[in-house]
Amino acid sequence: MPKELTIGLVQQACTQDREENIRKLETGIREAHARGAALVLLQELHNGVYFPQTEGEDGFALAETIPGPSTERFGSLAAELGIVLVLSLFEKRAPGLYHNTAAVLEKDGSVAGIYRKTHIPDDPGFYEKYYFTPGDLGIRPVETSAGRIGVLICWDQWYPEAARLMALAGAEMLVYPTAIGYSPSEPEDERERQRGAWITIQRSHAIANGVPVAAINRTGFEPPLSPERDGIHFWGNSFVAGPQGEIMAQTAADRDEVLVATVNLDKTDIIRRAWPFFRDRRVDLYGDLLKRYRD
Amino acid sequence: MPKELTIGLVQQACTQDREENIRKLETGIREAHARGAALVLLQELHNGVYFPQTEGEDGFALAETIPGPSTERFGSLAAELGIVLVLSLFEKRAPGLYHNTAAVLEKDGSVAGIYRKTHIPDDPGFYEKYYFTPGDLGIRPVETSAGRIGVLICWDQWYPEAARLMALAGAEMLVYPTAIGYSPSEPEDERERQRGAWITIQRSHAIANGVPVAAINRTGFEPPLSPERDGIHFWGNSFVAGPQGEIMAQTAADRDEVLVATVNLDKTDIIRRAWPFFRDRRVDLYGDLLKRYRD
């Protein structure tokens, strides 16, 4: 198990040209590796534009199996560079059964494990419930040569329950492939509150659980995919936080960027001894967390 | 139920002179009321210095019953001013059975309800497990004329579980009486991480649950109560955050201060519709939250 782990995050804008998006990702992965990354993270649904911006049958044509074309292609690169790589894919599991799934590739290019997005959003411009069946694999980290990686996906990031379950299941870090942005009509103060909340709640998962957190978001403006929408301005701001929630590195909002940061996985035990939150959890009183609401 | 609620927080340094501390609190409460507060919050164990800085039998002499002298005295003031007041007391429940307890006083001076601290810390300088039996009342808000108040106490603030349970039980706001500070030997960068983590995780409870959060911490340096300790520098920084975690008002670190802020309780429904985290909780997958660790 490594003590020091260098993580690379590839933040980029996507276009309708899938092959171009993937080539750009490959360039970014190579750059992260050249700068020392042993673990590289890609943004949510990184191969294309964010198709759940609208509901339409065409979207399903983008789905693929796991293993499949993306795990093959990126697996070759992972093996060539000897890195662990976290992909975010539109998974076709069976006819009429699709998931938003992360595939974690080992440094020999094999699939070390997958995670299916647990919490599925649905609001104007983010119509994910139409496409994605909620994950049924539970909330478990993937064991890799770079450590036990707790992959959670986008909407999951708003749920302290998900972060806690990953940590209780032994995750040594939490990573969040993400596609989040503003509507162009949002005023600046509301943008700031949204972006601030997104950063704050993920830093809090680091704090509550004493583990590093990496969030990798897309950037760029993606024009409307249907006449009733107005497009999404993805806000970038990918970051890596240490186990006290301290920001270690962060990208800009508006440009393609490869971010590299080194975390020390041994710090978790040190921090959890100083702040022994796990010692004092009142599991005898938490039963109502399993209810929708306590009326 | 009020839509707009003005909250007052009385942050102060304490000395060994209990009567002086209480008089200062009364002055602060009157100031908060004069500035429009309908709900006033006091810091954790506000009547005296933070006695759990050391373990000693003398500390128990400070405990009192609820109702008792403090609910009587502060109850008169609450009734005179017509405010809801949250006290933080060392409760003597029975011989050998003591709690760290918040008492919520109605505006007629009666006790609307109590909450007993659920998560009890214990680390050098904060020897609370010696004094306080963990709370057995569960995690439920107190119904008052100022709204359903979710009182949690200090160490509870590090637990997203506690905040969630309060919100699921209908709390319209979360309030945290607190006594947290640095050891004088802590270097500045570590102080910053600790203070940052403390603010960040409480803001995250506002975000995850779509409710306002108020944290009221003590200030001032309290000298060592035993030769092997070096005292505590309480870091103040009391604040009120809105339901997106945005800071609305905040005190300084190093001085007595009365903070007043107005929150809009109707915003919770609006925010929860925009960010429908409650809709999408996967209660079917949360069972392991009731375990100590999932090995």
C-beta atoms of A203 and B208 within 8 A: no
Please give the pLDDT value at position B1: 53
CA distance B69 to chain A (A): 31
Report pTM.
0.98
The pair of three-digit structure tokens given for residue B37, joined into one six-digit string? 């507060």
Residue A122 lies in a domain: yes
pLDDT band (50, 70, 90) for residue B228: confident
Q: Are strands A213-217 and A173-178 parallel, antiparallel or unpaired?
A: parallel
Q: Residues A130, A98: contact at Cβ < 8 Å?
A: no
Please give the pLDDT value at position A228: 85
Residues forming a β-bridge with B5: B263
Q: What are the backbone dihedrals phi and psi of residue A94, each rounded to the nearest 5 degrees, phi first?
A: -165, 165
Q: What percent of chain B has pLDDT over 70?
A: 99
Please give the pLDDT value at position B257: 98
Average pLDDT over every residue of A131-137: 97
Residue A1, pLDDT above cutoff 80 = no
Residue A295 lies in a domain: no
CA pair distance A209, A249, nearest whole angstrom: 19
Work out the burial of residue B144: count CB atoms within 10 Å of its CB; fewer than 13 is exposed, 13-18 middle, 19 or more buried.
buried
Closest residue of chain B to A121, computed from CA coordinates: B280
Residues of A labelled catalytic: 44, 117, 154
C-beta atoms of B168 and A277 within 8 A: no
CA distance B27 to chain A (A): 35
C-beta atoms of B207 and A194 within 8 A: no
Residue A275 lies in a domain: yes
Facing residue for A289 by CB, picked from B164, B197, B295: B164
Average pLDDT over every residue of B232-237: 98
CA distance B269 to chain A (A): 15
Q: How many domains does chain B have?
A: 1
End-to-end alpha-carbon separation of chain A, Å?
Answer: 46
The pair of three-digit structure tokens given for residue B196, joined into one six-digit string? 């940052």
Told to judge if B14 belongs to the known catalytic residues of this protein, a careful annotator would answer: no
Q: What percent of chain A has pLDDT over 70?
A: 99
Tell me the residue range of the domain where A205 lies. 4-290
Residue A34, pLDDT above cutoff 80 = yes
pLDDT digits (tens, 9 = 90+) for A40-96: 999 999 999 999 999 999 999 999 999 999 999 999 999 999 999 999 999 999 999
Q: Residues A166, A202: contact at Cβ < 8 Å?
A: no
Average pLDDT over every residue of B85-107: 98
CA pair distance B159, A167, nearest whole angstrom: 14
CATH number at residue A282: 3.60.110.10
pLDDT averaged over chain A? 97
Please give the pLDDT value at position A28: 98
Residues forming a β-bridge with B11: B257
pLDDT band (50, 70, 90) for residue B2: low
Q: Of residues B24, B92, B107, B117, which has the active-site annotation?
A: B117
Told to judge if B44 belongs to the known catalytic residues of this protein, a careful annotator would answer: yes
Closest residue of chain B to A157, computed from CA coordinates: B208
Please give the pLDDT value at position B295: 84
Residue B136 lies in a domain: yes
pLDDT digits (tens, 9 = 90+) for A222-237: 999 988 889 999 999 9
Residue B257 lies in a domain: yes
Residue A55 lies in a domain: yes
C-beta atoms of A119 and B196 within 8 A: no
Q: What percent of chain B has pLDDT over 90?
A: 97
Average pLDDT over every residue of B107-120: 98
The pair of three-digit structure tokens given for residue A89, joined into one six-digit string? 């894919």
Q: What percent of chain A has pLDDT over 90?
A: 97
Residue B295 lies in a domain: no
Residue A82 lies in a domain: yes
H/E segment holding residue A268: helix A267-274
pLDDT averaged over chain B? 97
For residue B187, the number of C-alpha atoms closer than 13 Å in the C-beta half-sphere is 2
| Cα three-residue angle A210-A211-A214, rounded to 5 degrees | 140
Strands (E), A1-119: 4-11, 39-42, 84-94, 97-105, 111-116
Chains A, B: CB pairs < 8 Å: 159
pLDDT band (50, 70, 90) for residue A2: low
Closest residue of chain A to B279, computed from CA coordinates: A292
Q: Which residues contact A187 (CB under 8 A, 6 or more apart)?
A: none
Please give the pLDDT value at position B229: 87
C-beta atoms of A286 and B244 within 8 A: no
